[in-house]
Amino acid sequence: MSSSVPVMMHVATASLAVVEAALDAGYDGLMIDLQHGEVGLEDACAMLRAVPRGNSHLFARPSGLEPGPIGRLLDSGARGIVAPTIETAEQAAQLVAAVKYPPLGRRSLGPSRPGLYSGEDYCAAGNAAVAAVVQIETAAGVDAAGEILAVEGVDAVYIGPADLAVSYGLPGRADWADGPVAEGIEKVAAAARGTGVRLGLYCSDPAFAAAHIRSTGLDFVGMGIDLVFMGKQARATVAALDAALEEQS
């Protein structure tokens, strides 16, 4: 894409065609979502393998911190694991343990995609190539952001504004320009700048995303969900047909 930062689409449908279509449309990368939608572990591994190994913006979001599924996603080519609802430094440490090879973590060495990481020290190369991404999406996570992002091995933080809004008693939506969600985003951004951790944010509106890329210094953006795109276009198509029929009656 022409954006100054990588833009990633959330994929909640178990479909290789959606993966190919999203990248062909110009997205820099993908967020394969095992937490929501219908993507299972086997589906996710196949979808990851459909993307060239050189794509460094290929993330997977499992439903928890279990090292087994995380290891399989990484061995299939995921370049980042996004752990949802991280609220403590201990949870962040669990993520690092599952994502990183020794001595930083406890990821197991085993058969994986050929040539997944290149370098004299395979463990060091793998640790450099793969991102441990904590998702902060609650008020508790915002309050503990400094401690969470200070955990050795945490590479990035991804802010989920809809769940964050719900934790403040607000409607679950993205793109908050003011109020506690906007303040929470700035608190996490400040913690990221203080620790040198990369910062990402989910946005639904391109203009809102552009404003935050400039004002907040985002390093990557999540924008759009395949199921939402399909529903929005389907509703628009049906509405357009109804309008055309009314005009012609």
pLDDT tens track for 98-137: 999 999 999 999 878 877 898 889 999 999 999 999 999 9
Q: What is the model's pTM?
A: 0.94
Tell me: cis bond preceding 102? Omega within 30 of 0 counts. no
Distance CA 67, CA 201 (A): 25
**How confident is the model at residue 3, as a pLDDT?**
60
Name residue 210's amino acid: A
**How confident is the model at residue 162, as a pLDDT?**
97
Contact (Cβ atoms closer than 8 angstroms) between residue 42 and residue 118: no
Q: Which member of 10, 36, 57, 212 is catalytic? A: 36
Output the CA–CA distances (angstroms, integers) from residue 136 to 40, 43, 90, 139, 180, in the order listed. 23, 26, 14, 8, 14
Q: Does CATH place domain 7-248 in 3.20.20.60?
A: yes
* 249 residues of the chain, pLDDT tens digit each: 556 899 999 999 999 999 999 999 999 999 999 999 899 999 999 999 999 888 999 999 999 999 999 999 999 999 999 999 999 999 999 999 999 999 999 999 987 887 789 888 999 999 999 999 999 999 999 999 999 999 999 999 999 999 999 999 999 999 999 999 999 999 999 999 999 999 999 999 999 999 999 999 999 999 999 999 999 999 999 999 999 998 998
57 is catalytic: no
**How confident is the model at residue 249, as a pLDDT?**
80
Max CA separation in the chain (angstroms):
73
**How confident is the model at residue 113, as a pLDDT?**
84
Distance CA 192, CA 158 (A): 10
According to DSSP, the residues that pair with 89 across neighbouring strands are none
**How confident is the model at residue 114, as a pLDDT?**
79
Contact (Cβ atoms closer than 8 angstroms) between residue 242 and residue 28: no
**How confident is the model at residue 173, as a pLDDT?**
95
